[in-house]
Each structure stands twice: as C-alpha cells, then as structure tokens.
Amino acid sequence: MNTRTNRNDRELLEMLRRLDGGGYPAYKELRGAYAFPRFTLHVDHVQGDPFAAPSRVHVVVPAEIAALPARSYAGESRAIGTASFLTRQFETAVRRISGSAGGGGLGSGKSGTIAIDAPGQSVIARTSVMVREGEVEARFTVGLPANGRRINGRAAAKMLLDQVPAIVEQALIMTEHAEAHAEPHALTDALTTAADTNEDADALRAALTEYGLVAFVANGAVLPRRSGIDDRPLEQGAVPFVSPPAFETTITLPNAGAVTGMGIPEGVTLIVGGGFHGKSTLLAALERAVYNHRPGDGRDRVATIASAVKIRAEDGRAVSSVDISPFINNLPGNRATHAFSSENASGSTSQAANIMEALEAGAKLLLIDEDTAATNFMIRDARMQELIAKDSEPITPFVDRVRALYEEHGVSSILVAGGSGDYFDVADRVIAMREYEARDVTEEAQSIAARMQTGRAREGGGPIGEVLPRVIDLTSLDPRRGRRAESVRARGRRAIEFGHGTIDLALVSQIVERGQTRAIGAALALLAREGAGSTANLPALLDRIEDLIENHGLDALDSRRPGDLVRFRRFELAAALNRLRTIRMAPLDRP
C-alpha cells in the first residue's frame, strides 16, 4: 500500500525528539509507515490541532507473529467472530495500559487518548480489526500530545513507542500470552469460542429457511437485558427461555452440535399474554437476531431470517411517493395514496409507509409490537365499523392484510398483540407468554375464535398487488453544504447530517451501532458521487451497495479507510434514503 521505504521505530523516536516543542502542524510529517520489531505502524491521518478529531493510525501484525490458531480465521464467519473478539481485547488493553478513559491527560485537547471503535453485544463485520489469513490489522485513533499548541514529543514517544506496542502485544499477539499468562490456553480458548459461536450463529440463520422457519430461540437463551440503555444480559432473576413442546425444533450446528429450541414457522404468528409477562422482550430479541451475538450474550443462539424488518408507527417522519394504497385510501382532500408523500406522516400512514418500503427493499418477515404500533392501523372492531362506515375510514387495518401479505407475497409476520382477539382469526399460531414462559395456545385461540364471533366484517378484500420499486432522482441526493462539495456526518447512532438535511434514524431500531450509521452515511455519499445527474430505482441502488461491500469490503465505501465502519443491511440503508427530507422519488410507472 505504502510504496516508500519504511522507516523504523528508532527513526520515529528521532523524529519526535526533533519535533518536540515545535508548532502542532509539524506533526503532519509523521504520516507514513514505521517498522516495529513485531508489527508495522501506519500513521494515516494527522489531526490539525490538539482539539480536532484525533489522528488515525493502524497496525499490521504479520500472521506468523500474531500466531492465531488457524481455525480462528478459517472462513468468513469465524474471521468476523475473531475480529470482534480482538477488538474487545484491544479496548481492554487500552484501558489497562493507557488509563481508564483511553488515556488523555498528556496535555491539551485530546492529548494522549487512544481509542478503538469497540463492538457492543452484536457481532458484525467491522473495520476496527480485520483478520486476513492470520494477518491482523487494527485501526484506532491517537490524540497526538501537545502543550498548548506545541508538540509534546516526549509524551508522543511514550504513546507511540511504549503504549501502542504494549497494547498490540497484549491484545493481538497470542504467543505473548502463552509466555505471560499462567493459563496460556485461556485466551486461545476464548478466541476459539468467539469464532465457534459466530460460525454457529450464521449456520443457524442459514438453516432457518431449510426448516421453513423465520426465527429460532434456543432453549436456555436469556432474552431480557440489563436495562433500556444497557444491552448486556439481565444478571439477576432472568428466566431462561424454554420452547413449548409443539414448537420444539432441533437444528445441528457445526460446533455446538444439536441445539433444541422454539422454531417459528413462516406465516402469521401472534405473541399474546398479560402485561409485563415478557412479550416485547421476546420480540426485541427476534428483532436483534438478524445479527449475531457475542458468546455469553444470551441471544447467541437466537436467529431471525436476515430479511426481517421491525415495523412501527413513526409519526412525524417524511414520506416520499410511497404506494400505501393497500392500507390507506380515500384520504381527506383526495390525497393520492398510490404515491403518498408527506412532510409529517401520521401514526397510521407512517406505519403503512414503513411496511411498503420494507417490501420494496425485499423484507420477508415483519415484526410488530403493539407497544409501538398505531392502534387504528392494527385493528378496527365491529362496533367501530358500525359507527364509522368504511367509506369514511381510509384505513384497511393490518388484521385484514396480514394474510394477503403472506399468501400473495410470502411475507410472514410476528405480532405482539396482547390487546385484541381479532387477530385469532388470521393467525397460524399463537404463543402466550406467562411469567416469561412461552406456551402454545393456538388451539385454544382457534376454538375461541370459532365459538365467539366478533361480528366484524372483513375489509379491503382485494389483492395487495405488485410492489413496484420507486425511482430516485439522484440530483436530489445532494451532500453539498455551503462551500463544501460533500458534508456528510453521522451524529451518533441516531442521525446523519447530509448536506443541508438531517436524516432522523432514532426509531430505526435495527441500526444497533454508531459505526453502522457512519457506514450508511458513507454509502449515501458514494451514491451521490456516483449517480449525480441520473436516476435509479431504489432496490437496484441497494443491490449495488450490497454487492460493493460483499466484493470489496467496507473500505469500498470510503477511500480514507476509517476504522469505525460497521456493516449495515440493505433495509437500514433504505431507511436512511427514505427519511432524507429533500429526496425526490417517483413511483415506477405501472405497466
């Protein structure tokens, strides 16, 4: 990659001595590669001042030095599990060697901080650590130290020549552990578990389709989390999951062998039960199980098909030319619903748009929780049908569409519906949660449905029809801001500033890491750059980005090769495009 002859660590030390006390911009000289005894350090980007975003560096440890067991990177699944594990190791080593908050305190601004973009509970391909044929590349940031705005070369030397090598040794070099630890195998065991678990999770998800399932929850899985803001497993009083006998399925995984749990088949599945009995917790676990989880997470043997999309009401969101007519018609003022646009969608129209957009992007499973759904979108009971005639109610409720979604489009649904028995008529199966215990109540629900007529009439009997892709006018995907040709910035997990617009992703819950938001921002910028002046249909753009990442990795999104990108799904990229308020889309003309 770097064509100039490498300097070495001694020369780096000399440079830092020479730069000491000079103006901060002279740090730019550090750009380049340095051969250390056990790895190469690359200084990729040097910050302009001590208060700017810290400098970006990476290290490459050759395979023979890292000495990872060959099994730990045999195949993509295992390499991703290993990389995720090594990123966490690196983060731990930073804390140990450079202080609790990743250092700092070596002068002004971010002086002395060392940071890596570490994963949460999910295990997803990322650019922080990558393992290729045993070679390990780790990307991280360093705050190059300053006193005021003068280079502190002595502190920089401590960071780059003492701390960084110690972190690399501790986190990324296995032989080091064999020598330094009383239990030399503990680390390689943990590494193997990370690789095994991730390979099993991918195998489990791949097996679902083969078994006609859309989701699987292993017996013994721990679903509740520590809190609404802490994604780690609940420690005390967690009731492990046990499948109702009727749904018991056994799937054989490459490492764990036979695993038994609840298989949820395709079709319409209802989750019912009293309040606070664990319904939403089960659904949330399924929603997150489009991703793999680290060993010990409790959800590491929970899997949902990769095309599962959480659907919710999202009033206030912008909607651009979405055909919501399968759900909503005859809006007041004759507003078109074949190409519905709004700057401020309602609960029901936003939920309808979320479903139609998910179908357009290729979703095969919808996950809906009554807690976050629009009630008038989900149900319309007999008495309300009597009071408000169909011709003055624009909404065809989901209960009258959920079967057509499956029968016509092969799109399954899993719904939490503790409040309405109207769904008994349309469900293939009903799971009741009682004190966190799942039971099969399908027969009971069906016999109640046969015995107690609701008196409600089915609405909107016609077919849903083909879901046509929309065409994006790519000139409206405009990342310019002021004099800058491209201004795209992730604001944490929840938002992207794109040109003059802000994309609000707060309620897109299957974005689980900030790095995904950043990567989506990079993908949008790439689409804008490539497509300026043209039009393209939305699913084709999603395919294009997916292929690019599949074939060339996340680095294809950003030539600066940042270390803080995390892989996202096509549905979340679509969600961002759909929430860009300035975007112009049009329905493909009906043939």
> CB of residue 355 vs ligand ADP: minimum separation in angstroms?
21
Output phi, psi for 317, to 5 deg. -75, 160
The DSSP secondary structure of 52-76, one letter per residue, reads: SSPEEEEEEE-HHHH---GGGGSSH
Nearer to ligand ADP, 223 or 538 (CB): 223
- 346 interacts with Mg ion by CB under 5 A: no
| Pairwise CA distance, residues 320 & 467, whole Å | 15
> CB of residue 379 vs ligand ADP: minimum separation in angstroms?
17
User: For residues 412 and 406, is the Cβ–Cβ distance under 8 A?
Assistant: yes
| Pairwise CA distance, residues 18 & 10, whole Å | 12
- 562 interacts with ligand ADP by CB under 6 A: no
Name which of ligand ADP, Mg ion, none residue 336 binds, using a CB cut-off of 5 to 8 Å depending on partner kind.
none
| Pairwise CA distance, residues 218 & 261, whole Å | 4
- 279 interacts with ligand ADP by CB under 6 A: yes
Burial of 488 (0-12, 13-18, 19+ CB in 10 A): buried
Name which of Mg ion, ligand ADP, none residue 278 binds, using a CB cut-off of 5 to 8 Å depending on partner kind.
ligand ADP
Please identify which residue in 118, 130, 151, 223 interacts with ligand ADP, judged by CB under 6 A: 223
Stretch that binds Mg ion, among 96-104, 121-129, 201-209, 363-371 (CB under 5 A): 363-371
Per-residue mark of binding to ligand ADP, 255-274 (x: CB under 6 A): ------------------x-
Stretch that binds Mg ion, among 46-54, 128-136, 279-287, 357-365 (CB under 5 A): 279-287
Please identify which residue in 141, 280, 412, 442 interacts with Mg ion, judged by CB under 5 A: 280
| Pairwise CA distance, residues 369 & 378, whole Å | 10
Size of the site for ligand ADP (CB under 6 A): 16
Stretch that binds ligand ADP, among 15-23, 116-124, 234-242, 557-565 (CB under 6 A): 234-242
User: For residues 390 and 414, is the Cβ–Cβ distance under 8 A?
Assistant: no
Instruction: Report how far apart, in Å, the C-alpha atoms of 449 and of each of 214, 402, 425, 427, 440 are.
Output: 25, 17, 6, 11, 16
> CB of residue 61 vs ligand ADP: minimum separation in angstroms?
41
Please identify which residue in 37, 275, 482, 533 interacts with ligand ADP, judged by CB under 6 A: 275
Radius of gyration, alpha carbons of the chain: 27
- 224 interacts with ligand ADP by CB under 6 A: yes
Nearer to ligand ADP, 416 or 523 (CB): 416
Please identify which residue in 239, 246, 382, 506 interacts with ligand ADP, judged by CB under 6 A: 239
Nearest to 109 by CA among 151, 65, 172, 154: 151
Name which of ligand ADP, Mg ion, none residue 461 binds, using a CB cut-off of 5 to 8 Å depending on partner kind.
none
- 163 interacts with Mg ion by CB under 5 A: no
Name which of ligand ADP, Mg ion, none residue 420 binds, using a CB cut-off of 5 to 8 Å depending on partner kind.
none
- 434 interacts with ligand ADP by CB under 6 A: no
Please identify which residue in 128, 280, 351, 372 interacts with ligand ADP, judged by CB under 6 A: 280
Nearer to Mg ion, 87 or 281 (CB): 281
- 419 interacts with ligand ADP by CB under 6 A: no
**Side chain identity, residue 7:** R
- 351 interacts with Mg ion by CB under 5 A: no
> CB of residue 434 vs ligand ADP: minimum separation in angstroms?
10
> CB of residue 231 vs ligand ADP: minimum separation in angstroms?
12
User: For residues 301 and 221, is the Cβ–Cβ distance under 8 A?
Assistant: yes
Length of the chain: 591
Nearer to ligand ADP, 176 or 370 (CB): 370
Please identify which residue in 158, 277, 567, 579 interacts with ligand ADP, judged by CB under 6 A: 277
Do β-strands 257-265 and 248-253 pair in parallel, antiparallel, or remain unpaired? antiparallel
Stretch that binds Mg ion, among 60-68, 154-162, 351-359, 368-376 (CB under 5 A): 368-376
DSSP 3-state percent helix, strand, coil across the chain (nearest 5): 40, 25, 40
Nearer to ligand ADP, 225 or 401 (CB): 225
With tokens 């972190």, the residue in question is 167
b/e per residue, 352-387, with b = 16+ CB within 10 A?
bbbbbbbbbbbbbbbbbbbebbbebbbbbeeeebee
Nearer to ligand ADP, 234 or 336 (CB): 234
| Pairwise CA distance, residues 21 & 80, whole Å | 42
Residue ranges with strand state E in 254-388: 257-265, 268-273, 292-293, 302-304, 308-311, 319-322, 340-342, 365-369
Stretch that binds ligand ADP, among 49-57, 151-159, 279-287, 400-408 (CB under 6 A): 279-287
- 298 interacts with ligand ADP by CB under 6 A: no
- 434 interacts with Mg ion by CB under 5 A: no
Per-residue mark of binding to Mg ion, 212-251 (x: CB under 5 A): ----------------------------------------
Instruction: Report how far apart, in Å, the C-alpha atoms of 296 and of each of 69, 285, 287 are.
Output: 21, 14, 18
User: For residues 405 and 411, is the Cβ–Cβ distance under 8 A?
Assistant: yes
- 104 interacts with ligand ADP by CB under 6 A: no
- 220 interacts with ligand ADP by CB under 6 A: no
* Residues from 305 through 334 that contact ligand ADP (CB under 6 A): none
- The helix or strand, by DSSP H or E, that contains position 198, with its residue range, turns out to be helix 184-210
Q: Name the residue whose CB lies closest to Mg ion.
A: 280
* Residues from 371 through 390 that contact Mg ion (CB under 5 A): 371
| Pairwise CA distance, residues 546 & 557, whole Å | 11
Name which of Mg ion, ligand ADP, none residue 548 binds, using a CB cut-off of 5 to 8 Å depending on partner kind.
none
553 C-beta neighbours (distance < 10 Å), count: 16
Supply 111's token pair. Answer: 């002086």
SS3 226: strand
Which stretches of the chain bind Mg ion, using CB under 5 A? 280, 371
Which stretches of the chain bind ligand ADP, using CB under 6 A? 223-224, 234, 237-239, 273, 275-281, 433, 436
